[in-house]
Amino acid sequence: GVCNGSEVRLVKSPRKRIAFPEKPKWNPKDSAQMSIVKEALHVSSAPLAIVCREDEQKRVFEFCKTSIEEERGGSLYVCGCPGTGKTLSMEKVMQNLLDWVKEMLEVYQPLKKVNRASSALHHLQKLFSQKKQSSTEKMMLIVADELDYLSTKDRFVLHDLFMLTSFPFSRCILIGIANALDLADRFLPKLQALNCKPVVVTFRAYSKDQILGILRQRLAALSFDVFNPQALELCARKVAAASGDMRKALCVCRSAIEMLEELRDASSTMNFLQQENTSLAQPNSSAAECFVKRENNIVRVDHMALALARTFKSTIVDIIQSLPQHQQIVLCSMVKLFRGSKNYTTVGELNRFYIELCKSSHIPPAGFLETSNMCRVLSAQLNRFCVLLIL
């Protein structure tokens, strides 16, 4: 296929390319090396190759290629959870398509490429305003990323966008990319009724092995070992279990490197203090103490475990902080109730704890019905907590 790596000629990527200078050995104290490693793992750095998404890319490429060859419009709906490589893969497909038909296509990405936004908007307005598209028009590829933001209550915008591709003389190919999986369930039936149902390409969450493969591939560009293999595996396993979000896997790896730096700094301070024979060494630096004796130039499993705990803990805190005030109070009441050996309760008992807590904080409590509704909402959220807390 045309998407086959060996046959693809690269045009200039819109993302930053990383140049990896030849370095024989990883030295975390070398700030230049440290920044190369961090950049290789940065979400905004384009990897040298995209692994695991060959089939999805091929499907989208072939769809667009056929539409162009047959000179007819069509639409694709690309969906998958955040961090499943949708944007990255579609950028690659566009590169390949552009390469294939340099002159025939005009590529519009109004939401991303600011310099093209005004002309893209202009073209879209023209498309929407004209009653009928002429069959002599050039073929046009519209890539609408983050489609979720266009999901208004009535979804007129989304419907109109997909309708553009279904007119008899349409020259538009639309690739709509969305994160919310249920968006498809909510609006595809309507599109079907309007006779413009798109072809759906689903990006499934990455598995443990896929995350591991992608991380290894990104790190292979470096000529030194940064991670202990078990540390990488731990990261891949935990992230796959939580969400399969590649962005998260990259963030955890970067955070693990920061952990190595922090603990190394802490341990070298300790060394210094011990050498100086002062009594300043803090009692809570015993964790750092055990790192002094160990290998200090590689990201180990313990660094990764700390990074994972830090990343996923902050997610829980974020979720709790984003809850409405009364749901937070209900949650506090639950914690208070279940602190002892108790492991079940009734809504009535929980309500009593809730009212008590409200009174002690001088907040007027909500009614019983509302409290039981809040419990229902929270129990849906708690399923997510459990997944995170197991980590």
Ligand X SMILES: Nc1ncnc2c1ncn2[C@@H]1O[C@H](COP(=O)(O)OP(=O)(O)O)[C@@H](O)[C@H]1O
User: Which residues form the interface with Mg ion (CB under 5 A)?
Assistant: 87
Instruction: Tell whether the torsion through CA atoms of 210, 215, 220 and 225 is positive or negative.
Output: negative
> In the set 23, 247, 336, 384, which binds ligand X (CB under 6 A)?
247
Q: How far apart are CB 186 and ligand X at their closest, in Å? A: 19
What angle is formed at CA 375 by the lines to CA 374 and CA 380, rounded to 5 degrees?
A: 100
Instruction: Return the closest-CA partner of residue 138 out of 110, 102, 109.
Output: 102
> In the set 87, 166, 243, 333, which binds ligand X (CB under 6 A)?
87
Comparing CB distances to ligand X, the nearer of 246 and 331 is 246
Check residue 362 and give left, alpha or beta (phi > 0: left; psi -120 to 50: alpha): left
Q: How far apart are CB 51 and ligand X at their closest, in Å? A: 5
Q: How far apart are CB 39 and ligand X at their closest, in Å? A: 12
Q: Is 50 in the site for ligand X (CB under 6 A)?
A: yes
Q: How many residues bind ligand X (CB under 6 A)?
A: 18
Comparing CB distances to ligand X, the nearer of 181 and 377 is 181
Segment interacting with ligand X (CB under 6 A) among 86-94, 120-128, 228-236, 382-390? 86-94
Report the site for ligand X in 249-288 (rule: CB under 6 A). 250
Segment interacting with ligand X (CB under 6 A) among 3-11, 84-92, 109-117, 261-269? 84-92
> In the set 34, 37, 40, 52, which binds ligand X (CB under 6 A)?
52
* Contact assessment for residue 311 and residue 248, using Cβ atoms and an 8 Å cutoff: yes
Query: Distance (Å, rounded) from C-alpha 40 to C-alpha 21?
Result: 12
* Contact assessment for residue 76 and residue 247, using Cβ atoms and an 8 Å cutoff: no
> In the set 88, 231, 240, 329, which binds ligand X (CB under 6 A)?
88
Query: Distance (Å, rounded) from C-alpha 67 to C-alpha 158?
Result: 21
Contact of residue 351 among ligand X, Mg ion, none (CB under 5-8 Å per partner type): none
CB atoms near residue 16 (< 10 Å): 10
Strand order in the sheet with 74-80: 106-108, 140-144, 172-178, 74-80, 199-203
Q: Is 244 in the site for ligand X (CB under 6 A)?
A: no
Closest-approach residue to Mg ion (CB): 87
* CB neighbour burial string for 142-170, b if at least 16 within 10 angstroms, e if fewer: bbbbebeebeeeebeebbebbbbbbeeeb
Residue with tokens 């290894």: 216
3-state secondary structure of 143: strand
Segment interacting with ligand X (CB under 6 A) among 43-51, 281-289, 299-307, 339-347? 43-51
Q: How far apart are CB 90 and ligand X at their closest, in Å? A: 8
Q: Is 51 in the site for ligand X (CB under 6 A)?
A: yes
Query: Distance (Å, rounded) from C-alpha 337 to C-alpha 97?
Result: 60
Comparing CB distances to ligand X, the nearer of 123 and 247 is 247
Contact of residue 50 among ligand X, Mg ion, none (CB under 5-8 Å per partner type): ligand X
Comparing CB distances to Mg ion, the nearer of 84 and 166 is 84
Q: Is 43 in the site for ligand X (CB under 6 A)?
A: yes
Contact of residue 238 among Mg ion, ligand X, none (CB under 5-8 Å per partner type): none
Closest-approach residue to ligand X (CB): 85
Instruction: Return the closest-CA partner of residue 101 out of 2, 17, 1.
Output: 2
Q: How far apart are CB 43 and ligand X at their closest, in Å? A: 3
Q: How far apart are CB 195 and ligand X at their closest, in Å? A: 29
Query: Distance (Å, rounded) from C-alpha 238 to C-alpha 124?
Result: 43
For the CA atoms of 34, 36, 41, 46, the dihedral, rounded to the nearest 10 degrees, stands at: 170
Comparing CB distances to ligand X, the nearer of 86 and 171 is 86
User: Which residues contribute to the site for ligand X (CB under 6 A)?
Assistant: 43, 47, 50-53, 80, 82-88, 214, 246-247, 250
